[in-house]
Structure 1
């Protein structure tokens, strides 16, 4: 210690990566298998394809592949990571955390690891945990892997068009590390309404309804969803999250360069741009080729736009998450310059 004050730090996304399983299923083929007209699913959701994990692929396999790509994008190695936070509703096991499985696969021996169970808002909840840890940790590597991953295909009732038409498998990750102010994550907020936990859930397999012959016969280990209630929630919450995030950042929705939302139904989410005070060009919609991949949906869209359009220094990027629980949250980011993203 030399008595000088520490340099001010903020925290930014320094690299992104994603992974999709090899098998791709078209909405036309799925519609036919469900006895529907070929264009039924795409016409109502905008989803053209979704990816399906191989029989022996688990959440940690997809997550580790996405994490490796995010590390490469950030120019880092697994040993540079001090924490792994993983959001999922479809873990490898009920315990231990899937994050610990990923830590072992990566060889990130210096990293602590845990899961967050916030459904499709899991990536935003994970970012909040990452920033809190980075702001208080001492002596550990100042970089966090935040991962969202789902293998929903293993938890679907293929006869239920409300869920089978929407969900897919995939993973996406981001590396969070130091940045020089004013760049980085400028505001965050989380929310929940547990009175509506029954709107979307996998009812069996936990301590309330342990697995048994009865739960298997009743398809209790598959996703159950009240489609109308979920649709009302999406229509209501996305404009609110955008308004609250803009207000917290002292900006107007039109000042946002990009809004990256969770997109369980890409067509529905894209249609809400005007209600949120946005131009459609501000919305990053990437779910048409992956479907609803839950906690991976938002970071997948972020990775895709970062690798295609690119994100310029100083652009304001809003991450807007919402999902089962019910949960929601946002992260507002002033994107750092390339050299700052690569700084140690």
Structure 2
């Protein structure tokens, strides 16, 4: 049992949908402009009483049911988020309590859009060292809570949601390899600054989009090369690309790098927007539940986010 395999997936999206048409009424933008630049048509927005832990809990229930296990079988919870409910305790602990799980380790990971890949990487290490058997890995973000809806360049991008997987010890190969990186030198290009409370300035996302886009495309090219070189897997052996959903043009660039048709890319950005740490597990769950992704197929997940952080996971489903 020295492998780590995904045995269940789940996801949750808030019921409220914010369309591009809705944004047209409050910003100097158009549906056509947003779609052409980003690929986004709509995004889900959490209600005022919906916290990150609420989104996470619902996604976790789906993953647990899909894996056909009980909450008591889970012996570790790792939750990737940049929008925790509170400064402390961790949102993972809040979810643990709601699931009724007693005393297993639970903690949050913060790597923004790469958070789920980071969390999956950590979970695999726990399993491979026999420190856990069933890990609940969640990616969840309430990006609307840190979005300035008067900022045209940012308001169009972000959505809320959560996705989860159960990663379990197995005799079968599951995670083939993971690769994670960070470079703090680019902090000012994409960040949420802390303002003094007396200033009455909200702590919201600040991004230099064009610079981030260029670095993201080049960096994801490199992570694809690194993943293939280290795994011994060829481009033609990859069945599905399940990428972080940041911009349709980035998804298309990565698919081109892999000589892959867009028909083999799980695309949710048109309906979800950028949900940060939630985007990969949301897309994975959609791919699985739609019947596109089936057992024993090879999946490449890759992401790029603030920090900058970036990473990949090559998985046999």
Which category of TM-score, normalised to the shorter sequence, fits these structures? over 0.9
1:39 aligned counterpart, secondary structure: helix
User: Is 2:197 the counterpart of 1:212?
Assistant: yes
Q: Paired residue for 2:57, among 61, 64, 70?
A: 64
Total equivalences in the alignment: 317
Q: Using structure 1 for the length normalisation, give the TM-score.
A: 0.88
Q: Using structure 2 for the length normalisation, give the TM-score.
A: 0.95
| Equivalent in the alignment of 1:197 | 187
Change (3 A) 1:95 1:110: closer
| Equivalent in the alignment of 2:174 | 184
After superposition, the C-alpha distances for 1:290-315 in whole angstroms (9 at most, x for unaligned) are: 10000000111111001113323321
Q: Which runs of 4+ in 1 moved over 6 A?
A: none
CA RMSD after TM alignment: 1.5
Contact 1:242 1:253 in 2 (8 A): no
1:51 aligned counterpart, secondary structure: strand
Could you say which structure has the larger radius of gyration? 1
| Equivalent in the alignment of 1:163 | 154
Contact 1:266 1:286 in 2 (8 A): no
After superposition, the C-alpha distances for 1:190-240 in whole angstroms (9 at most, x for unaligned) are: 111111122211101xxxx5x4121x33x3x01111101210122112222
Q: Paired residue for 2:252, among 239, 254, 270?
A: 270
Q: 1:76-91, aligned counterparts within 5 Å?
A: 76-91=69-84
Q: Paired residue for 2:273, among 278, 291, 310?
A: 291
1:36 aligned counterpart, secondary structure: coil
Contact 1:84 1:144 in 2 (8 A): yes
**Which runs of 5 or more residues in structure 2 are unaligned?**
none
Structure 1 residue 241: deviation in Å?
1.7
2:31 aligned counterpart, secondary structure: coil
After superposition, the C-alpha distances for 1:288-340 in whole angstroms (9 at most, x for unaligned) are: 101000000011111100111332332111111211111111111122xxxxx
Contact 2:113 2:303 in 1 (8 A): yes
Contact 1:148 1:171 in 2 (8 A): yes
Q: 1:94-113, aligned counterparts within 5 Å?
A: 94-113=87-106
| Equivalent in the alignment of 1:300 | 282
Query: In 1, distance between residues paired with 2:189 and 2:237?
Result: 34
